[in-house]
Structure 1
Amino acid sequence: MLALIGGLAYKGYGEYQASQQPEPMSINGDTSVLGGLEIGQRAPDFTLGTVDGATVSLSDYVGEQVVLNFWATWCPPCREELPELITFGEETGIPVLGINVTKNERRGQADVEAFLKEVPVSFPVLLDEAGTVEKTYRVVALPTTYVIGPDGVVTAKQVGPVDFDWLHDQTN
């Protein structure tokens, strides 16, 4: 009899716990917002300051292909791909814009400047201090790279590190 009462109590407790679980949330069915801006979408214009104190806008590159690379100093894959981005930009002449997600840096711009003293780059490093461009492009992971065509439309996207061959293939 005691075992029967214990079993009923256990079953009742399990049902009680199940009733306390929140209803599952439905995921937005619009896949265009999951995983960031997609190929074929127009790249939103932006203006950001650089580590050198200049300002750069995507619209400065209308009529040209351009590579946008979102990165952070603390991100190992970002660090690993930097030589590939540097070589690509130098060998092809296609502009590379390194968009540092500065709001995620521990010391902000100071971290970026210290990193660039160790690893100088030959392309502009833009500071997304408020994370507005990261949010606009719906970047979900670092690094993320977009290739923007001369018409301002995204022609390629890579979440994760890129290499010279991938960049070359996407820009030809």
Structure 2
Amino acid sequence: MGLNGKLVASLEVKCGGHLFHDLYQTSCHHVSNISPEKIHHFNIHEGDDIKAGSVIGWKFNHNGKVNVTKQLIEAIDDEKKSITWKVIEGDTLEQYSAFTITASFENNWATWTFVYEKKTEDTPEPISLLGFLLDVTKDIEAHLHKEIKAF
């Protein structure tokens, strides 16, 4: 059994991926307003805004437990509508030695990719965390769809 893994999940989003990319690139702090039961807080630890090299933090409810994470924004690709975060602190690193998240919002698809290294062979695959992000994606889609209909 290997300790390295990769999980990928895609979800069709009817309101267009560019709106998701814009939200995550410029207005992450709104995600806690859109999905308050899941996301409690967002902040920027290092850097003036959301760009490659900035360090951000999230406080969220996953599996009935409040979790925190601190992430380095490794890359933002406006052409591919993708953002890559490397987890550098927090609850995720209790089970994983390395954990990188990439979100791609091309066309009408939201795709989440996890690349990770488990600390032990007994560590579970992060499937529930991936499901959590898909649920947040659905909350954001419902919110954006409502805003589009309002215009």
Higher-Rg structure is 1
State TM-score, norm by structure 2: 0.26
State TM-score, norm by structure 1: 0.23
Q: Which structure dedicates a bigger proportion of its chain to helix?
A: 1
Q: Which structure dedicates a bigger proportion of its chain to strand?
A: 2
